[in-house]
């Protein structure tokens, strides 16, 4: 059973701080990694993708990937109350079926 593990939180940070969200995965053959943001009562929205070891930055978001440790993280700099949401980590399954395995998500609250 391929698994994606996330700390369920809740993670609470003050406005302007850095929020750090973590994810580990079990399938060593996984090649594609995604972060989705899900506001309460809404559908998941793709915010970051990463495919190679290292960092990928997009605005206030940075995704980090370490395939040797089977670890992927998302950093949110200068956190805003509008960043309060549940963040889902998703990892592709090996075998070319284009299926993703999702973690259960980490709930982030940014306090004004």
Partner 1 sequence: NAGVTQTPKFRILKIGQSMTLQCTQDMNHNYMYWYRQDPGMGLKLIYYSVGAGITDKGEVPNGYNVSRSTTEDFPLRLELAAPSQTSVYFCASSPQGHYEQYFGPGTRLTVT
**Cα dihedral sign, 87-92-98-101:** negative
The phi-psi region of residue 33 (left if phi > 0; otherwise alpha if psi is between -120 and 50; otherwise beta) is beta
The reply to whether 45 sits near partner 1 by the rule CB under 8 A is: yes
The reply to whether 77 sits near partner 1 by the rule CB under 8 A is: no
Q: What share of the chain is helix, strand, coil (3-state, %, to 5)?
A: 5, 55, 45
Looking at residues 82 to 101 of the shown chain, list those that interact with partner 1 (rule: CB under 8 A): 88, 90, 92, 97-100
Length of the chain: 112
Beta bridge partners of 16: none
Site string for partner 1, 4-33 (x = CB under 8 A): ----x-----------------------x-
Nearer to partner 1, 69 or 97 (CB): 97
Binding region for partner 1 (CB under 8 A): 8, 32, 34, 42-46, 49, 88, 90, 92, 97-100, 102-105
């Amino acid at each position: 059973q391929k698994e994606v593990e996330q700390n369920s939180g809740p993670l609470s940070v003050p406005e302007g701080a850095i929020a750090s969200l973590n994810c580990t995965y079990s399938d060593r053959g996984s090649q594609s990694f995604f972060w989705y943001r899900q506001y309460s009562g809404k559908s998941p929205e793709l915010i970051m993708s990463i495919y190679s070891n290292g960092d990928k930055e997009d605005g206030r978001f940075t995704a980090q990937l370490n395939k040797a440790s089977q670890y992927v993280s998302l950093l949110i700099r200068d956190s805003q109350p509008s960043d309060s949401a549940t963040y889902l980590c998703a990892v592709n399954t090996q075998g070319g079926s284009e299926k993703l395995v999702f973690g259960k998500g980490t709930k982030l609250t940014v306090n004004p």
